Amino acid sequence: MTIYKEKIGEGNQSIVLLHGWGLNSQVWDFILAPLSPHFSITLIDLPGYGRSQPSAVLSLEAMASEIAQHIPEKSILLGWSLGGLVATQLALDFKNKVEKLILVASSPCFSEQDGWPGIRSQILAAFQEQLTTEFRRTIERFIALQSLGTTNASLNTKKLKQAVINQPQASLAVLNQGLSILQQSDLREKLADIEVPTLRLYGALDSLVPRKSIPLTDALWPNSQAVIIEQAAHAPFISHPALFCKALLKFID
């Protein structure tokens, strides 16, 4: 398996950035300039995504194990959406690799269940079914959901689509497995085992990680802290990069 990684930045602290479903590490281009003076940045394409191909279809645990081989010890680990689940699993399984944890528009349980706000299972199942018949359009619909409700939704969606267009596309099998991970993973009972300082960054308008889930996660994970960016949706680092970087740097400092 080939894992694509790229290192940039001038700082001494190591930060690793993990992207979300259907995309690749190019999504971070919009925040690299303000972060580069502060950090040594490792950009990684998740297994099977972007330039990390070819890849077997991996479970969440196997994906975390694979990525652990490619990141420095005592890193600040930042994961967005699906990448946030991978980052959380890394913090559980490879404690020596993670000094601080930052989760962006992510949830320990993405699916709606038993009073927990999340994505309805029918929606994720529909995306999986549609992938087989309308591959490109289904990915575009999912990307559009990530900026829904923001002031510059069409521009933000265009920026995300550009990352998909510019790099190799994940296979149908990898994308389906990613949706299954989002639908089936539930790390809520394991959050108390994560002892490193943790920041959770949210967009107030996020339709994939509902705002109602934030206080529930607070209760499960009292030693973490949450920051909500108003007027942002599922990709706050694209719609509000200055506010995003300010919150990130304040937490790390």
Query: Could you give the residue numbers annotated as active site?
Result: 81, 206, 234
Give the angle 147-243-99 at the CA atoms, nearest 5°.
100
180-to-16, 125, 170, 183 alpha-carbon distances in Å: 24, 9, 15, 5
In one-letter notation, the amino acid at residue 159 is K
Please classify residue 204 by burial: count the beta carbons closer than 10 Å to its beta carbon, then call 0-12 exposed, 13-18 middle and 19+ buried. middle
Location of structure tokens 């967005």: 80
Q: In a 10 Å sphere around its CB, with 0-12 CB exposed, 13-18 middle and 19+ buried, how is residue 156 labelled?
A: buried
How many whole angstroms separate alpha carbon 82 and alpha carbon 141?
17
